[in-house]
């Protein structure tokens, strides 16, 4: 019937058409359909092979210390039409779509891992860097771009905006891959700045693209639009985050669907915000912060899933950049682009950082490091695709400049990141590799989870028998047998111990199950009438100062007492009450307290000075943020 109908349609009622013409036409259509299906399959195969090549090449990069993102970039270049792969890819719309999804997931993952307690002290400097710093960087870069590239002021400012923001995932991917531990304040500042400067850079780029496309715009219009997008982005972020938390804890999802649900919800928040003319990137970052700071089901599986998604997003973004790049075309603008990159890294970024951090208590080493690690990555790729998408004149020029800037940033800043951190003394001593922690959610409640560790021979738990007061040993696995803590007594090397602990404190258990470093002897100059070494027992303290202690605690040292009762690793200044006196950690060695100060009841502290209006406002804002995030 189909062949007959096709035959009639093909002949148009004419009798002079060959009777097999309909069969030939139908066969041709089937051949074309199969060819299109084959092209889709080939695209899937080649895309998968490229991503797999990027993943496997990371092993080689780690061996030689090369920045991983640089490897992904060269995989794309080699696969492109200018490399041996010979693939021709010029689909800007696909690049923009993939970039939007990838950047949204990267920002959401960054927000999910951000703890409000750790960033509270750096909100102001981070906000200054994310807004004023981006604007200053773009303004300082613009004159160089104008005269080096021979473009107008608006185009030059667009070049500055495209490359002005730092890339959060690029910074922390390289920091973690090189095994660095940054000072908490430096790390938190970079984390918040990198997560919050993207929305402002995107807004600035879109405003300039609109100005170049339409040709008119006023400062009042730009300011109102920025306020509107930021305000709506905050509303969408907090509201969306609370809704996701509510759904996670109230809806009984099948096992394994929590992580895909949260990931999809992040994209829903992003899309809804963008459709409503809000900042979707700000919204998705804040939504991640809300979810990450509230107790939810399957939190660990969600974080692990998004870690993998973020890696994949970075690989795909850099492979796409490599595919879009034409080395032959880029050679014509390489010298002006290098000039833009060097001014950006050596002049614009440092000036912006030093000016923005001037009101805050950062020393010159910390400011220099923050200025140097402003790596450019996936965000510059995404922003450079916007002028190409709308068809602006010189759009390809912006993309080529962004490519050169990203390449030089990864080569210079990425390769010297670890050296700069150590030379400027902002890297903490490298800790031993953490224990293999297993975390299991317990259905029906959110306050406790099961945390498991292998017991090491030189661990604090095995050597001293210490465990925090807020955790409870539940079971022991030995020789493939499951035992209760009583049956397994004493726990020995090679056992697997599982404890009940609050999810937010699970990471603090790590230090009890790693090999204990050598604790250095305390500096004798720190000891005095009210200072004691950390190895003094509570019984000795009770005998000297007449305080009352539990008989079961008499054998504990002061260092043990801090380990058991603190919710986190000990820090200088940490305090704990002991009957009528207060113990103060005065010195830390080997991750344990080795000098303890005693604050006696008669030690009256001077009254705190009255708060200034600025300090009072900061305290109120901090309390509001704490309530919103539920921390």
Which of 83-87, 357-361, 407-411, 418-422 is the least confident region? Answer: 83-87
pTM of the model: 0.71
Domains of the chain: 2-55 (no CATH), 92-423 (1.20.1530.20), 447-512 (3.30.70.1450), 524-599 (3.30.465.10)
**600-612 residue pLDDT tens:** 765 444 455 555 5
Q: Give whichever of 400-409, 431-440, 586-595 has the largest mean pLDDT.
A: 400-409
For residues 182 and 379, what is the distance between their CA atoms, to the nearest angstrom?
23
Which of 122-126, 127-131, 521-525 is the least confident region? Answer: 521-525
Conformational region of residue 87, where left means phi above 0, alpha means psi within -120 to 50, and beta covers everything else: beta
46 pLDDT higher than 60: yes
Q: Dump the DSSP string for 72-96.
A: HHHHHHHHBTTSTT-B----HHHHH
**Cβ atoms within 10 A of the Cβ of 17, count?**
14
According to the model, what pLDDT value does residue 159 have? 92
**231-263 residue pLDDT tens:** 999 999 999 999 999 998 888 788 778 889 999
Whether the Cβ atoms of residue 144 and residue 339 lie closer than 8 Å to each other: yes
According to the model, what pLDDT value does residue 367 have? 92
Q: At what angle do helices 378-390 and 153-162 cross, to 10 degrees?
A: 140
According to the model, what pLDDT value does residue 605 have? 47
pLDDT grade for 512, boundaries at 50, 70 and 90 = confident
**424-439 residue pLDDT tens:** 888 765 555 567 788 7
| Local structure of residue 557 (DSSP, 8 states) | B
For residues 366 and 147, what is the distance between their CA atoms, to the nearest angstrom?
33
9 pLDDT higher than 70: no
Average model confidence (pLDDT) across the chain: 79
Tell me the percentage of the chain whose pLDDT exceeds 90.
Answer: 15
Q: Dump the DSSP string for 573-612.
A: T-EEEETTEEEEEEEEETTEEEEEEEE-TT-PPPPPPPPP
For residues 507 and 499, what is the distance between their CA atoms, to the nearest angstrom?
12
Helix (H, G, I), strand (E, B) or coil at 16: coil
Whether the Cβ atoms of residue 159 and residue 396 lie closer than 8 Å to each other: no
Which of 148-162, 485-499, 573-587 is the least confident region? Answer: 573-587
């Amino acid at each position: 019937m189909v062949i007959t109908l096709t035959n009639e349609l093909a002949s148009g009622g004419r009798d002079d058409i060959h009777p097999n013409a309909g069969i030939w036409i139908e066969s041709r259509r089937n051949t074309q359909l199969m060819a299109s299906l084959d092209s889709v399959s080939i695209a899937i195969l080649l895309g998968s092979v490229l991503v797999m090549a990027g993943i496997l090449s990371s092993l080689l990069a780690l061996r030689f210390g090369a920045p991983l993102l640089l490897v992904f970039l060269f995989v794309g270049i080699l696969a492109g039409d200018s490399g041996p792969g010979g693939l021709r890819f010029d689909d800007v719309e696909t690049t923009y779509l993939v970039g939007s999804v990838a950047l949204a997931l990267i920002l959401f993952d960054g927000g999910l891992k951000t703890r409000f307690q750790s960033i509270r002290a750096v909100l102001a400097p981070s906000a200054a860097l994310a807004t004023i710093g981006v604007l200053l960087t773009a303004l300082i870069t613009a004159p160089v771009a104008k005269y080096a590239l021979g473009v107008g002021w608006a185009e030059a400012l667009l070049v500055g905006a495209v490359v002005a923001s730092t890339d959060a995932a690029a910074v922390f991917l390289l920091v973690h891959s090189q095994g660095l531990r940054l000072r908490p304040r430096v790390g938190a500042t970079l984390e918040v700045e990198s997560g919050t400067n993207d929305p402002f850079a995107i807004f600035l780029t879109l405003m300039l693209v609109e100005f170049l496309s339409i040709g008119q715009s006023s400062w009042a219009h730009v300011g109102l639009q920025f306020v509107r997008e930021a305000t709506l982005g905050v509303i969408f972020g907090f509201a969306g985050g609370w809704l996701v938390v509510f759904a996670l804890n109230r809806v009984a999802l099948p096992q394994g669907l929590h992580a895909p649900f949260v990931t999809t919800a992040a994209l829903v928040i992003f899309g809804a915000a963008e459709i409503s003319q809000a900042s979707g990137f700000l919204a998705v970052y804040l939504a991640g912060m809300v979810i990450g700071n509230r107790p939810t089901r399957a939190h660990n599986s969600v974080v692990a899933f998004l870690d993998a998604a973020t890696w994949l997003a970075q690989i795909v973004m850099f492979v796409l950049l490599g595919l879009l790049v034409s080395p032959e075309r880029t050679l014509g603008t390489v010298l002006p682009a290098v000039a833009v990159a060097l001014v950006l890294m050596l002049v614009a970024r440092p000036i912006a950082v030093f000016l923005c951090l001037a009101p805050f208590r950062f020393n010159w080493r910390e400011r220099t490091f923050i200025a140097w690690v402003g790596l450019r990555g996936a965000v510059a790729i995404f922003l450079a695709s916007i002028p190409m998408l709308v068809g602006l004149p010189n759009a390809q020029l912006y993309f080529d400049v962004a490519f050169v800037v990203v390449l030089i940033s990864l080569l210079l800043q990425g390769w010297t990141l670890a050296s700069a951190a150590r030379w400027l003394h902002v890297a903490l001593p490298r800790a031993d590799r953490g224990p293999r922690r297993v975390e299991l959610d317990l259905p029906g409640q959110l306050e406790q989870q099961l945390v498991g560790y292998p017991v090491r021979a030189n661990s604090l738990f095995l050597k001293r028998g210490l465990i925090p007061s807020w955790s409870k040993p539940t079971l022991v696995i030995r020789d493939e047998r499951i035992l209760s803590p009583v049956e397994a007594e004493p726990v020995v090397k090679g056992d697997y111990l599982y404890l009940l602990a609050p999810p937010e404190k699970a990471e603090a258990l790590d230090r009890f199950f790693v090999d204990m470093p050598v604790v250095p002897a305390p500096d004798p100059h720190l000891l005095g009438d009210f200072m004691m070494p950390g190895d003094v027992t509570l019984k000795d303290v009770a005998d000297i100062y007449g305080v009352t202690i539990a008989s079961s605690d008499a054998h504990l040292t002061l260092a043990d007492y801090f380990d058991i009762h603190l919710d986190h690793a000990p820090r200088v200044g940490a305090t704990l009450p002991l009957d009528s006196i207060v113990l103060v950690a005065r010195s830390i060695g080997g991750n344990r307290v080795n000098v303890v100060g005693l604050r006696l009841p008669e030690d009256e502290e001077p009254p705190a000075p009255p708060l200034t209006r600025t300090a009072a406002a900061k305290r109120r804002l901090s309390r509001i943020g704490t309530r919103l995030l539920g921390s």
